[in-house]
Amino acid sequence: MTDLRVLVIDDDFRVAGLHRGIVEALAGFRVVATAGSLAAARSALADHPDIDLALVDVYLPDGSGIDLLTELPCDAFVVGAESDARAIRAALRAGALAYLIKPFDRAELARRLAGYAHYRRVLAADTVDQAQVDTALGALRTGGRGADRPEGGSQTEEAVLAVFTDPDTALFADDVSAAVGIAAPTARKHLANLVAAGTLIMRLRYGSTGRPKQEYRRAR
């Protein structure tokens, strides 16, 4: 299965960058575009017709992200500050697979994305039975904990966790790679699994230039 392609829609560039970092920290996901308005989102969708998932903010400068849902040719999560129950019902009625109210724990978005990946895998078959439907829908609700871990991943992930000696230990993927003796891409994959499981927390560390780096520490 190729990487799932994601569009991030948020008018706050810092929040958009944060969501982008969370998405790209997970193996099997790739952000193909970000947009800060409905107009920019529509343009991005035209430029990238193969988008799989949109993360949609509610309050945008030229309208509501909820109104965009019915236009989307892809799946969508709503990630916004709107907590009015009527708006949430409208979003779900319009097709949102998940609704996360800001502010939320970054690990929660990672868990939901991991669940979405499992949902897509289960429903990639030509036909499915009721048990598979229930499994796919359950993955969306629970985040598919444990469903996406690679075979043999447990032993390596135990070694990765052992590097985090206490909740105050904060490391980058390159640090973990060197400490465990595994390749950096492998370290990032296992770190992403542990974030999705809620065992580790990922935060973005902003430097003076360039893209932010993912920093990991144990969940308290």
DSSP label of 63: E
Per-residue confidence at 200, pLDDT binned at 50, 70, 90? confident
Strands 29-35 and 4-9: parallel
10 pLDDT more than 90: yes
Mind listing the pLDDT tens digit for each residue in 143-165?
Answer: 754 444 444 456 888 888 888 88
Q: Both ends of the chain: CA-CA distance in Å?
A: 34
pTM: 0.71
Mind listing the pLDDT tens digit for each residue in 93-123?
Answer: 999 999 999 888 777 888 889 889 889 988 9
Report which of residues 218 and 203 the model is more confident about.
Answer: 218
Q: What is the pLDDT of residue 38?
A: 97
Q: Which residues of 162-182 are buried (b: 16+ CB within 10 A; e: fewer)?
A: ebbeeeeeebbbebbbeebeb
Strands 29-35 and 200-205: unpaired
Per-residue confidence at 219, pLDDT binned at 50, 70, 90? confident
Q: What is the pLDDT of residue 106?
A: 77
Domains of the chain listed by start with CATH number: 4-106 (3.40.50.2300), 153-218 (1.10.10.10)
Q: What is the pLDDT of residue 148?
A: 44
Residue 84 to residue 90: CA distance in whole angstroms: 10
Q: What is the pLDDT of residue 154?
A: 64
- Bridge partners of 204, per DSSP, are 214
Q: What is the pLDDT of residue 211?
A: 67
Mind listing the pLDDT tens digit for each residue in 21-80?
Answer: 889 888 789 999 999 999 999 999 999 999 999 999 999 999 999 999 999 999 999 999
Residue written as tokens 């990672």?
110
